[in-house]
């Protein structure tokens, strides 16, 4: 089956726009708390809820994208800690990993609560994030 170039030429744009919308959602969560509404996220992004729904489907889709972004951030921190630690020093490694994770929770408590509480009552099809890894 041939790929239609008219559709694929927008793939990079859509990917970039989704990243921007997730970043705007994270900013809105930091300002409005874990119970942030789609209206507040759209206002922060300078767009309409329709645009957000076009890119994510619904609140659960946006939630999943935010969780994915947070997980990538945590993974990067864990990877960095692993590379910086000495092999065989498990106590130091454990301390470093715990400090990194707890530091994230302290710096961004609203983000942590948003991720841990799920996308809301209407979106039960997405499993709650139980563990950030």
Q: Are 41 and 62 in contact (CB under 8 A)?
A: yes
For residue 27, tell me if it sits in a domain: yes
133 vs 19, which has greater pLDDT?
A: 19
Instruction: Determine phi and psi for 117, rounding to 5 degrees.
Output: -95, -10
For residue 125, tell me if it sits in a domain: no
Residue 34 has pLDDT above 90, yes or no: yes
For residue 130, tell me if it sits in a domain: no
For residue 95, tell me if it sits in a domain: yes
For residue 32, tell me if it sits in a domain: yes
Q: Report how many domains make up the chain.
A: 1
CATH number of domain containing 50: 1.10.357.10
For residue 101, tell me if it sits in a domain: yes
How much is the pLDDT for 91? 82
For residue 127, tell me if it sits in a domain: no
SS3 assignment for 80-133: HHHHHCCCCCHHHHHHHHHHHHHHHHHHCHHHHHHHHHCCCCCCCCCCCCCCCC
For residue 82, tell me if it sits in a domain: yes
Structure confidence by residue, pLDDT tens digits, 51-107? 999 999 999 999 999 999 999 988 887 788 777 777 777 787 788 778 878 888 899
Query: What domain range includes position 75?
Result: 11-117
What CA–CA distances, in Å, run from 59 to 48, 49, 66, 69, 86? Answer: 14, 10, 10, 15, 42
Q: Is the pTM of this model over 0.85?
A: no
């Amino acid at each position: 089956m041939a790929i239609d170039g008219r559709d694929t030429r927008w793939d990079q744009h859509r990917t970039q726009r989704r990243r921007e919308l997730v970043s705007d959602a994270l900013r809105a969560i930091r300002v409005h708390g874990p119970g942030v509404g789609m209206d507040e996220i759209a206002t922060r992004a300078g767009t309409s809820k329709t645009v957000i729904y076009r890119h994510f489907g619904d609140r659960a889709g946006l939630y999943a994208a935010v969780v994915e972004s947070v997980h990538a951030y945590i993974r990067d921190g864990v990877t960095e800690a692993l590379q910086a630690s000495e092999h065989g020093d498990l106590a130091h490694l454990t301390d470093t990993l715990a400090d990194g994770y707890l530091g994230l929770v302290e710096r961004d408590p609203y983000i942590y609560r948003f991720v841990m509480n799920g996308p809301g009552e209407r979106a039960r099809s997405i499993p709650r994030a139980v563990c950030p890894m």
